[in-house]
Amino acid sequence: MLTLPSYNLFDVLAVSVCGSVIFALVRRLFLRSKSTKLAGPKRTSWLWGYTRDLLAGVSGDYFEQWQKEFGDVYCIPSAGGGERTVFMDSRAISYILNTNAYNFVRHKGNVSLLKRMLGGGILTVEARDAHQRHRKSMSPGFTIASIRFFTTIFLGAACKVRDQWLSKMAAESNEKDIVLNVEYWMNAISFESIGEAGFSHDFKCMDGELPLIGKLFTSLGKNSGNVASMIAIAMVQVFPVVVSLPLGRNIAFDQLQAAMRSIAQGILGDRKVVSDAVSDERRSLVASIMKAENRSLTQEEVIAEINTLLLAGFETTSSSMTWCLHELSMNPRVQQNLRDELVKFPEPTHEQLATEMPYLNAVVQETLRTHPAVPENHRRAIKDDSIPLQNPITTASGKIVDHIEVRAGQGVMISIEAMNRSSLIWGPDSHEFKPERWLDGNLPKKVTDIQGFHHLLTFIDGPRNCIGKNFAVAEFKPYPS
């Protein structure tokens, strides 16, 4: 009988690190000539590069400062002796996200992480045909007709939160200061909204306690800044095997997927409720996905798509709404201007929210600009490529070029946060929360060169743009109201 040897955690890590170092040296010695050599900040740590700084601070501030020092395209050291080419040139970004989008895919470690957390789905498929198959199966749930119907759900959730707050203030009327946990309530109404609109499912978030899945989401977010989590996040792109190790963060991902899978299986098991919720005016998110089951998606893929919607529908929207209320609290003038507009629409319709409330639109867009839920977009090239530039740059050797050559496997980055807030793009008031910039029709030329949702990269762009962006904006609008 053949006995297989056993390996401990440190053996696996040691072999992985040594193999990755050898590969990095070979790549540096023999493959570097295929890429354009660019200027950038000097490496201060082989292990971290600048990954720890970007995770611990406001990454957009770093990228914006490097843009001023090195131009719109530069190279930064990354973890494990690697490097990333950062693009802040609008034409280059459009090429990566639009023109040749399927040549630029997620790093293998990031895909492995998403699979461990979600089980797969639209976020983990990279090939053109597979990605388009997944996207086509989900698109019917995000039509204008569906979102028009969902708006009543979003407004209902906002009213429930308002009533809860008023009740709490009435009960504590003798207190000098009344404290409301806004972050909790934004999490609660995100679950309320995605549950009702997406799955006809009541998470019972208005009872004062988040369900298990909500607690797991928030726990992951709170722990993402500790040292162990930062190491795992930094190393996963260099050493994908990290995702397979029995680390605390990976175990948390398993628990999260198990909780989401339980909900997804419950939804799939109650097909009658879902089918009864479908009409010509509305097709729920889950009904669209279930319709594709056994035709274009397997059952495992359907479960993964539901998990993806749970994660995206909760985390990103609740974060944006919390930031919006924070900005309104810090800007009384903006708050009053918004109140003056909202009083004209005591029971707004979808059409009024979408087209007749310009200041609300401006507040939402300014929040999406200044506080994007995802600060960076990381990709790697499948094949060698030549990326065109809007403006020529000077390379590390002093040569002026209008294209950047990248080699197969090379990592590229787009700093969403910096592109949304750079003073070189948006002007000297770029870091101010100023909704009026969206009303005067005089956005800087460099801004209008950016393709994306209202010239923002918050939802990225191209065939992989956020499929639920219109859903997210419609869900967002009632809450600052």
SS3 73: strand
Residues 253, 117 contacting (CB under 8 angstroms): yes
| Region 48-53 average pLDDT | 88
The structural domains of the chain, ordered by start, are: 9-476 (1.10.630.10)
pLDDT of 404 above 60: yes
Predicted confidence (pLDDT) per residue in 259-315, tens digit = 888 988 887 777 655 555 555 455 568 877 777 766 778 889 989 998 998 888 777
What percent of the chain is modeled with pLDDT above 70? 87
* Tokens matching residue 448: 């209008």
Q: What does the pLDDT read at residue 447?
A: 97
Strand partners, 403: 388
Q: How far is the C-alpha of 104 from the C-alpha of 123, rounded, in Å?
A: 14
Q: Give me the DSSP letters along 316-346.
A: HHHHHHHHHHHHHHH-HHHHHHHHHHHTT-S
pLDDT of 56 above 50: yes
pLDDT of 88 above 90: yes
Residues 92, 413 contacting (CB under 8 angstroms): no
Predicted confidence (pLDDT) per residue in 433-474, tens digit = 999 999 988 899 999 999 999 999 999 999 999 999 999 999
pTM above threshold 0.85:
yes
Residue 466 assigned as binding residue = yes
Question: What are the residue ranges of helices labelled H in 172-247?
Answer: 182-193, 199, 212-223, 227-236
* N-term to C-term CA, the chain: 70
- Helix and strand numbers (H, E) in the chain are 22, 7
pLDDT of 66 above 90: yes
Q: How far is the C-alpha of 179 from the C-alpha of 403, rounded, in Å?
A: 54
**Residue 127: is it exposed, middle or buried by C-beta count within 10 angstroms (0-12/13-18/19+)?**
exposed
Q: What does the pLDDT read at residue 381?
A: 97
Average pLDDT, the chain: 86
Give the largest CA-CA distance in the chain: 80
Q: What does the pLDDT read at residue 474?
A: 93
Predicted confidence (pLDDT) per residue in 327-362, tens digit = 999 999 999 999 999 999 988 999 999 999 999 999
pLDDT-based confidence at 5, cuts 50/70/90?
very low
CB neighbours of 192 closer than 8 A, spacing ≥ 6? 157, 160, 202, 203, 205, 206
